[in-house]
Amino acid sequence: MSASLVRATVRAVSKRKLQPTWAALTLTPSAVNKIKQLLKDKLEHVGVKVGVRTRGCNGLSYTLEYTKTKGDSDEEVIQDGLPRDWAAVGP
Is 13 within a domain? no
Of 21, 27, 20, residue with least CA distance to 47: 27
Is 12 within a domain? no
Please tell me the total count of domains within the chain.
Answer: 1
Of 59, 64, 2, 13, residue with least CA distance to 35: 64
pTM of the prediction? 0.54
Is 3 within a domain? no
What does the pLDDT look like over 10-45, one tens digit per residue?
445 555 565 555 667 778 888 888 888 888 888 888
Q: What is the CATH number of the domain that holds 50?
A: 2.60.300.12
Domain limits for position 68: 24-87
- Can you tell me whether residue 90 is helix, strand or coil? coil
Is 2 within a domain? no
Is 9 within a domain? no
What does the pLDDT look like over 2-11, one tens digit per residue?
454 444 444 4
Of 52, 54, 62, 51, residue with least CA distance to 87: 51
